[in-house]
Amino acid sequence: MEPDGATRALVMSDVAALAGVSHQTVSRVVNGHPNVAPHTRERVERAIAELGYRPNIAARALVTGSTRTIGLVTVKINQYGPAQTMLGLENAARAAGYSLSVSILDDATAAHMREAVDTFVAQRVDGIVALSTYDDAAAALATLDPPVPLVAVQVGGVEDRPAVGVDQETGARLAIRHLLGLGHRTVHHVAGPADSQEARGRIAGWRAELAAAGAPVPEEMLRGDWTPSSGYLAGKALAARIRGGEDITAVFTANDQMALGLLAALHEGGLRIPEDVSVVGFDDLPEAPYFTPPLTTVRQDFAELGRRGVQLVLGRMRGEDLHPDPVPPALLVRSSTGRAPSPA
């Protein structure tokens, strides 16, 4: 007998009674079984919401062998791309009836990566996704062979294991094609870090599109670390070169945050955007339409990247040999790009 005032934990039979269905039907709905009539599923879901019922994950795992949990190992989550990729994965996992358990590493050594994966295996996750946009993370992943499916969501580069990513090279080519189409003789590039697979993909696209158009490839390429401050330093250097007489009329920055710093430096240097210099970024930050001027940029669809990443790991759980296509980028044209200035 329960003490006075004690609240009994809700169980599936409570949901079944309210919904007017069997305990087995509630179990099928909770576990995502496809053989449930839509109106019945809706009735059960309404009862679950009304009661505030939460399945007992541990008990369900004992019965089904599944915790309906996906582990995510990631690094450098303070950057926009990895953070948005994590959100995309979390939303896609939830839509598929799974929860996402996240392990954020300070660095992606093989030892730290192995420890995170081993922890997930001990927690009985159904599959693991690793965000491997940097060389050290990719190298660490190559050493692992866990007893559950492990896939990579990387936004550039090549993986030996099943992977999905955004087509970085195509994104860069879209940016360069746009600028050359506006009459600019060539396009200068502010690249990301040397150990970033994303940065290398964008460099490859920049060079390939210039070469395909027969445009000169600038010998000097500036590098940043994805931050506005590094873009600002690059902008100061470019402004000085322009004042020194160099013909620099178009700049492609490897991300929007560096573009923000670059725009500030060019403004300080007395250069007008886009009348003197056109600027294109990459990512499409939520703030990009509110830069001065609004930034032309390459948009990455992080929601779709997350959906394909979850689709890939779920397919591997089912034993399917999936090879998702890269997520296509899109060019968003705003006011930071314009026709090349007429020669003086």
Quick check: 164 and 312 in contact, CB under 8 A? yes
Q: Choose the most confident range, by mean pLDDT, from 75-84, 124-133, 135-144.
A: 124-133
- Structure tokens belonging to residue 191: 């690249």
- pLDDT given for residue 31 in this prediction: 65
pLDDT tier at 1 (50, 70, 90 boundaries)? very low
Instruction: Give Cα separations from 334 to 29, 279, 281, 286, 292 (angstroms).
Output: 46, 10, 11, 14, 11
| Domains defined along the chain, listed by start | 12-55 (1.10.260.40), 69-166+302-327 (3.40.50.2300), 168-301 (3.40.50.2300)
DSSP class of residue 166 equals B
Identify which of 57, 49, 56, 28 has the alpha carbon closest to the alpha carbon of residue 40: 28
Q: Dmax of the chain from CA atoms?
A: 93
Distance separating alpha carbons of residues 15 and 27, to the nearest angstrom: 10
Least confident residue range of 63-67, 217-221, 223-227, 274-278: 63-67
pLDDT tier at 155 (50, 70, 90 boundaries)? low
- pLDDT given for residue 261 in this prediction: 98
Quick check: 241 and 248 in contact, CB under 8 A? yes
Distance separating alpha carbons of residues 219 and 206, to the nearest angstrom: 13
Distance separating alpha carbons of residues 211 and 344, to the nearest angstrom: 26
- Structure tokens belonging to residue 272: 């007008």
Averaged pLDDT of the chain: 88
Distance separating alpha carbons of residues 60 and 315, to the nearest angstrom: 21
Q: By 3-state DSSP, what share of the chain in percent is helix, strand and coil, each rounded to 5?
A: 45, 15, 40
| Residue 121, phi then psi, degrees to nearest 5 | -60, -40
Distance separating alpha carbons of residues 173 and 7, to the nearest angstrom: 62
Return all residues near 17 (Cβ < 8 A) that are at least 6 apart.
none
Query: pLDDT tens for residues 171-193?
Result: 999 999 999 999 999 999 999 99
Distance separating alpha carbons of residues 250 and 277, to the nearest angstrom: 5
The strand pair at 99-105 and 296-299 is best described as unpaired
Alpha helices in 156-279 (DSSP H): 168-181, 197-212, 228-243, 256-268
pLDDT tier at 214 (50, 70, 90 boundaries)? very high
